[in-house]
Amino acid sequence: MKLRKVGLLICVLTVFLSASAGALRANSGFKKSPDVGDRFLDIHTFLFKIAARNGWSLIVSSEVNSPVREVAGSTVEEALNNYLETT
């Protein structure tokens, strides 16, 4: 079961990165502030708000979850690492 979740997470992140490759090169979205207006968000809400802010397309499996409920870090990349550190 854990292997399946890891596989799904890798697929989701691959889609996320592939869909946003051009945007990442153009404006380095992962290096921007993770501030999306709320400090406490689940990972799905955070990802969708970041995608909307950067004009990215995003599909996230409902099986991708994180026990972390706080946006922590100075960049989107750091915030995602904090969300996914324990998964």
- What residue numbers bound the domain in which 46 lies? 2-84
Average pLDDT over residues 78-87: 91
Number of domains in the chain: 1
- HSE-up (13 A, CA, CB side) for residue 34: 22
Sign of CA dihedral 62, 64, 67, 71: negative
Higher pLDDT, 70 or 24: 70
Question: Is pLDDT above 70 for 6?
Answer: no
Angle subtended at Cα 69 by Cα 67 and Cα 39, rounded to the nearest 5 degrees: 165
Half-sphere exposure of 45 (CA within 13 A, CB side): 12
Q: What is the pLDDT of residues 7-62, one digit of tens each?
A: 565 655 665 655 555 554 545 789 999 999 999 999 999 999 999 999 999 999 98
Amino acid at 67: P
pTM of the model as a whole: 0.68
